[in-house]
Amino acid sequence: MGLSLPAFGTSIVFSILVLAAYTFAVAVAAGRRPHLLASARLGAYATSAVITCGVLLLSYGFFTHDFRIRYISQHSDRGMSPWYLLAALWGGQDGSLLWWTFLLSVYTAGVTTWMRGKYRALQPYVIATLMVIIGFFSILMMFAANPFEQNLTGSPGSGTQMNPLLQNYWMMIHPPMLYLGFVGCSVPFSFAIAALATGRLGNEWIVAVRKWMLTAFLFLSIGNVLGMIWAYEELGWGGFWAWDPVENAACLPWFTAAAYVHSTIIQERRNMFRIWNVVLICITFLLTIFGTFLTRSGLISSVHSFAKSDIGPFFSWFLVFTAVVSCALLVYRLPLLRGDAQLESVVSREGMFVINNWALLGGMTFILGATTSPLLTEALMNQEVTVGPPFYNKWMAPIGLLIFALMGLAPLFGWRKTSASSLKTAFAFPGLCLITVTLLHAIFGAKLGYPQVVGATTVESGTAAHIYASVSAFFPGITVSLSAFNVAVVVQEFVRGTRARMSSTQKKGDAEGPLTALVRLVQKSRRRYGGYIVHLGIVGMFLGFVGTAWQIEEEANLNIGDTAQVADYTLVYQGTRMCPGNPRCSAEEQSDKAKRMLFADVDVLQDGELVSTLHPAKFIYQNPPQTTTEVALLRGLRDDLYVVLAVADPETKRATFTVHVNPFVGWIWIGLLVLITGCGVSLWPEVTTKRVTAWTYVRASVAATAGILMTFTLAASLSQPFAGSFSAAGREHLAGHQRSSASVEGAPQ
């Protein structure tokens, strides 16, 4: 009898551990016997290749509907589209662990190739650390979550579809992006461990890690924002971030990664903060493991979390092991890590970075504490405590504003110390912008529906609570003013830099025009100016966040032909239709056999003119039996009209809608696009002249094509929500698009 796919897949999982263990042993030996390094590198590639084989085999199982494999039968059925079959690979616990390992293997192969001819002393330990992480995940798959495990009762005739909530376009790209961010933190951690193990704790490893951490930061940002988009479109509560424990776990490493990206500059420039940087990298990695543990152990209940499983203890042990090894190495190498340089003045760039680091770390610590406190309270005191969004919003708003303010302040300071006269010059333009926008907001804000002060109430008693509530009423206005300040700072930095370059080139007799000078300025200092562009992206996101302060939510109970007025939108209810079956259903809706869809058609008018027809819906799935609420959205740069069908009576056709007008949400997605651009500028590689062969051209063109395709796909998918924002015709197109996107069986948008 031949080897079955489940048995073969399981043997592949076993061989991952064997190869990782072999490579680890050879890599550690290569630390003392350099001639073994080539073997270790090949072992790392072999491990990556065998993991790739495992992922491809599981995908093959999905595409051939091999329901002998339990994971496949639990997360797919014959009716699912190829794209969702692919997404099912990471849609469940076991498969997502294999996917995690696969992405780590991609990073491993990438970093091994990148290190060729460089960092010879660090290489063995970098590879060994990566192999330990891969080994851990393979153990996890072998003993607790084998994606190839066979169904004990034999192969069922059909499988169970993936959770309908996960059958969404954004779920195709959100988890891989977030995982790329999480897994990406393993590379800086491996370098940190290698530096600690070898005692080479100078700037060498810091320079090596720089771009890898920025890559992880980029993917963490993309993953988190895509998660927001998914929650906004799919969960139907009108918001994008609910401080859910899994959402919190995903954003924790973002804070420390952001802190590291700034503090590493101080080590490079001033040879300070060596211990701090190692600690930040270790914490970031530990937080990625903790986040994965929180999502998968079943400890917390969340719409994002996986079912309760046995993998919790494995993660706990690994977390403890990693923390102990990191701490032990850190303590052992403490004498080498201590630097001579001191912080001379708080009124300096490094001073601002220190405060910024503490603010970011404070934010992370608060979220971590608030997320874990219900678990700890239940475990230690047997009391159930719930920490809800109001608690997080109350404390994170001032922390967020502090970080936002520091983001604008830091670039205005020089290194070491800044004199009062320099500060006066630096603050003049941004300060003027801040005052102007504050005044304009005070005068026109309320008239436009965005008042500067939003009355905040508190259920807590006590003077302090009331004082805080009064202060927090000013947060929306402060956010808008700080946004203007931040934009002004970035504009000033670009203008100053361009002017300085124009002046210096003129002195050299090779005068450059403003545009040439700007482009060359960015080319010369990509990290600095890429960072400023990232700051602009963050400003966009903050504008989106502050929009929630002016959110309007209304409920409308309508008969056919009734109208409802929400802000400046007039909604006219046109009736419901059940698809398939109703003659008004599209061909695509008629052909959908996986579910029944109840659409409510609502015309949207502005100033008496029809701008769109929205189709909020309820989908009733048979397998698994589940009803989902499908949101209808009319997007715009100023605000989004967000309509949810709450209830509809099939007899009388009377329907109840929840209507939200969400100001500036679109700026979060625009902010992400700007952030991606900024990170792209910072990450863009140095161009060097080198003798190349024809094969190098082939490799370079394949890499360039893949990069361009990925960029276009990402940019197109992220800008897709704005496809119809600028014209009525566009809005009509968008409405149609929303309608088709509501179909789970339809092709991805």
Partner 1 sequence: MSDAVAPARFVVPGVVLLLVAGVAAAGFWGGPSGVLIVLSAAALCTAIALMWTSLERMGEQASLDFEDALSVAVPSATEEQKLAVLRALKDLEYELTVGKISREDFDVASNDYRNQARRLIAAQDESMHVQLAAAEQRVLTFLQTSGAQSTPAEPSAQAASKTTSPSLAADPASTDAAD
Query: Contact positions toward partner 1, by CB under 8 A?
Result: 12, 15, 19, 22-23, 26, 34-36, 38-40, 42-43, 45-47, 49-50, 52-53, 56-57, 59-60, 63-64, 82, 117-121, 199-200, 202-204, 268-271, 340-341, 412-419, 421-422, 425-426, 493, 496-497, 499-500, 503-504, 525, 695, 698
**Nearer to partner 1 among residue 109 and residue 644 (C-beta):** 109
- As a three-state string, the secondary structure of 299-346 is CCCCCCCCCCCCCHHHHHHHHHHHHHHHHHHHHHCHHHHCCCCCCCCC
* CA distances for 503 relative to 296, 412, 628, angstroms: 58, 21, 62
Alpha helices in 657-727 (DSSP H): 666-683, 694-719
Q: Residue 394 phi/psi, 5° resolution? A: -60, -45
Structure tokens at 45: 């590639």
Dist. CA 148–CA 342, nearest whole Å: 55
Least distance CB 280 / partner 1 (angstroms):
19
Residues 6 or more apart whose Cβ sits within 8 Å of residue 655: 557, 558, 573, 576, 600, 645, 646, 647, 648, 649
Sheet order of strands, 655-663 included: 552-558, 655-663, 639-648, 632-634
Least distance CB 563 / partner 1 (angstroms):
49
Least distance CB 30 / partner 1 (angstroms):
10
Least distance CB 119 / partner 1 (angstroms):
6
**Nearer to partner 1 among residue 40 and residue 252 (C-beta):** 40
- Strand 639-648, strand 617-622: pairing: unpaired
Q: Residue 565 phi/psi, 5° resolution? A: -110, 120
Least distance CB 353 / partner 1 (angstroms):
14
Residues 6 or more apart whose Cβ sits within 8 Å of residue 183: 100, 103, 104, 107, 288
**Nearer to partner 1 among residue 320 and residue 698 (C-beta):** 698
Least distance CB 36 / partner 1 (angstroms):
6
Angle, CA of 479, 525 and 681, to the nearest 5°: 65
Least distance CB 46 / partner 1 (angstroms):
4
Tell me if 542 sits within 8 A of 404, measured CB to CB. yes
**Nearer to partner 1 among residue 366 and residue 494 (C-beta):** 494
**Nearer to partner 1 among residue 509 and residue 695 (C-beta):** 695
C-beta neighbour count of 655 within 10 angstroms: 23
Residues 6 or more apart whose Cβ sits within 8 Å of residue 492: 426, 429, 430
Least distance CB 266 / partner 1 (angstroms):
10
Q: Residue 692 phi/psi, 5° resolution? A: -125, 160
Least distance CB 379 / partner 1 (angstroms):
43
Tell me if 149 sits within 8 A of 51, measured CB to CB. no
**Nearer to partner 1 among residue 162 and residue 631 (C-beta):** 162
Tell me if 271 sits within 8 A of 202, measured CB to CB. no
* CA distances for 190 relative to 40, 116, 132, 284, 304, angstroms: 15, 16, 10, 12, 29
Least distance CB 209 / partner 1 (angstroms):
16
Least distance CB 568 / partner 1 (angstroms):
45
C-beta neighbour count of 271 within 10 angstroms: 13
* CA distances for 95 relative to 14, 182, 224, 226, 306, angstroms: 15, 16, 21, 21, 11
Q: Which of 99, 183, 182, 108 minimizes the C-alpha distance to 147?
A: 99
**Nearer to partner 1 among residue 340 and residue 510 (C-beta):** 340
**Nearer to partner 1 among residue 38 and residue 464 (C-beta):** 38
Residues 6 or more apart whose Cβ sits within 8 Å of residue 703: none
**Nearer to partner 1 among residue 202 and residue 624 (C-beta):** 202
**Nearer to partner 1 among residue 82 and residue 389 (C-beta):** 82
Its sign, for the CA torsion 132, 137, 141, 147, is negative
Tell me if 53 sits within 8 A of 14, measured CB to CB. no
**Nearer to partner 1 among residue 518 and residue 665 (C-beta):** 518
Tell me if 269 sits within 8 A of 232, measured CB to CB. no
**Nearer to partner 1 among residue 200 and residue 596 (C-beta):** 200
Least distance CB 230 / partner 1 (angstroms):
25
Q: Residue 242 phi/psi, 5° resolution? A: -115, 15
Question: What DSSP line would sit under 102-138, residue for residue?
Answer: HHHHHHHHHHHHHTTTS-TTTHHHHHHHHHHHHHHHH
Dist. CA 519–CA 516, nearest whole Å: 5
**Nearer to partner 1 among residue 118 and residue 584 (C-beta):** 118
Cα atoms in the Cβ-side hemisphere of radius 13 Å centred on 64? 12
Least distance CB 8 / partner 1 (angstroms):
10
Least distance CB 686 / partner 1 (angstroms):
16
**Nearer to partner 1 among residue 95 and residue 363 (C-beta):** 95
Least distance CB 23 / partner 1 (angstroms):
8
**Nearer to partner 1 among residue 274 and residue 618 (C-beta):** 274
Residue 87, amino acid: A
Least distance CB 277 / partner 1 (angstroms):
14
**Nearer to partner 1 among residue 98 and residue 546 (C-beta):** 98
Least distance CB 49 / partner 1 (angstroms):
4
**Nearer to partner 1 among residue 52 and residue 160 (C-beta):** 52
**Nearer to partner 1 among residue 444 and residue 697 (C-beta):** 697
- Three-state SS for 522? helix
Tell me if 543 sits within 8 A of 486, measured CB to CB. no
Residue 152, amino acid: L
Least distance CB 528 / partner 1 (angstroms):
9
C-beta neighbour count of 319 within 10 angstroms: 16
